[in-house]
Amino acid sequence: MAKKYDVVIIGAGPAGMTAALYASRANLSVMLLDRGIYGGQMNNTAEIENYPGFKSILGPDLSQEMYDSAIQFGADFGYGTVKSVTDHGDYKTIETDADNYETKAIIIGTGSNYRDLGVPGEEEYRGRGVSNCAVCDGAFFRNQHVVVIGGGDSAVEEGEYLTRLVDKVTIIHRRDELRAQQIIQDRAFKNDKIDFIWDSNVQEITGDGNKVTGVKGVNNKTGEPFTADAGGIFIYVGIEPMSEPFRSLNITDENGWFVTNENMETTIPGIFAIGDIRKKELRQVVTATNDGGIAGQKAYQYITELEAKTEAANV
């Protein structure tokens, strides 16, 4: 039998947790669903210093603070990997590997995942030197040389974090200019434990059969090959949406990102999308919580109107 809620929120990152806070505070029955621990990418982030109210806070600590806020007005938290979502108009159903749900509104905040580089050695050595999480795995490479691949905020910020643990960090970027925010770049350029290999693509992650030994690549301007020895390879070459279970709803763009209006509404009434899974420019904790607050409130308005409509039809 399906469990019934006014709102089911899928994904318990900062966006989903804020939506749960707003919707349950508006007296809706709320299920906040995740396939794992709440917090999303905050759990993989060392220090967060651009979330107002905290000069600096560890990602997992901010997750806990947000979770405590999210459930204080009675929202339930549950585990389950979503298999499919079906829109039946005035109600929607969700099938997970644990429970099934029937709900009036759905708020989707499943976020994004790190993209693979797609080179030989990447899969083979994942967990044996290849990582997407400096906070989780950086400590394994104490006093070693590590390579970071990418030129965005994640690559440069996580590269800087790694310098606290490792001997030396080499950032390999495919252009001669970083994409990361200026303040993040400035810090990296001042850090003498970081050096850069510019205009270069990594073509292979090398290993000794047991663990990573380095990378091989090529300078894409000169065609000159290069190698770098390293115990750890951290790959930050962008993100992709975790929207697979929702593709059949046909409300994402061709790359899987949800396009919403400023009320976080998708083209299906009663289905909202929030946080990193939305097509947007600035993916930050603060923009995720913004989306969550709006969606929680808009779900309340949607359900109020739905109930008024149903009542009028029954008179």
Choice from 83, 142, 164, 175 touching ligand NAP (CB under 6 A): 175
Residue pointed to by tokens 């974090």:
161
Contact residues for 131 (Cβ-Cβ < 8 A; gap 6+): 137, 232, 233, 234, 235
- For the bound state, the minimum distance from the C-beta of residue 161 to ligand NAP, rounded and expressed in Å, comes to 11
Task: Please give the positions annotated as active site.
Answer: 133, 136-137
Q: What is the nearest approach in angstroms of ligand NAP to the Cβ of residue 172?
A: 8
Task: Give the tokens for residue 308.
Answer: 């008024």
Q: For ligand NAP, give the closer residue by CB, 80 or 217.
A: 217
Beta carbon nearer to ligand NAP, 164 or 175: 175
**Distance from C-alpha of 194 to C-alpha of 168, rounded to nearest angstrom:** 6
What span, in angstroms and rounded, lies between the C-alpha atoms of 268 and 200?
44
The token duo for 281 is 């420019």
Least Cα distance to 129 among 45, 218, 239, 210 occurs for 210
Q: Which of residues 177-206 bind ligand NAP (CB under 6 A)?
A: 179, 201
* From 71-79, 99-107, 136-144, 235-243, span contacting ligand NAP (CB under 6 A): 235-243
Find the residue with minimal CB distance to ligand NAP.
152
Judged by beta carbon, residue 102 or residue 199, the one nearer ligand NAP is 199
Helix (H) or strand (E) holding 103: strand 100-108
| Angle formed at CA 291 by CA 288 and CA 296, multiple of 5 degrees | 125
Q: Which residue has the tokens 């009036």?
A: 104
Q: Which of 196, 236, 246, 272 binds ligand NAP (CB under 6 A)?
A: 236
Burial of residue 99 (number of CB atoms within 10 Å: 0-12, 13-18, 19+): middle
Closest separation in Å from C-beta 118 to ligand NAP: 7
> Of 143-162, which residues contact ligand NAP (CB under 6 A)?
149-155, 157
Q: Are 240 and 256 in contact (CB under 8 A)?
A: yes
CB closer to ligand NAP out of 152 and 256: 152
Report, in Å, the least distance between residue 299 CB and ligand NAP: 25
Bridge partners (DSSP) listed for residue 96:
82
Should residue 239 be labelled a site residue for ligand NAP when binding is judged by CB under 6 A?
A: yes
Provide the token pair at 183: 């303040």
| 51 sits near ligand NAP (criterion: CB under 6 A) | no
User: Residue 251 corresponds to which tokens in the numbers above?
Assistant: 């409300």
218 sits near ligand NAP (criterion: CB under 6 A): no
CB-based burial label for 176 (10 Å; 0-12, 13-18, 19+)? exposed
- The site string for ligand NAP over 61-100 (x = CB under 6 A, - otherwise) reads ----------------------------------------
**Nearest residue (CB) to ligand NAP, 106 versus 202:** 202
Q: How many residues bind ligand NAP (CB under 6 A)?
A: 19
The H or E element containing residue 237 is none
Of the pair 6, 157, the CB lying nearest ligand NAP is at 157
Closest separation in Å from C-beta 73 to ligand NAP: 30
Judged by the rule CB under 6 A, the positions of this chain that interact with ligand NAP are: 117, 149-155, 157, 174-175, 179, 201, 236-239, 283-284
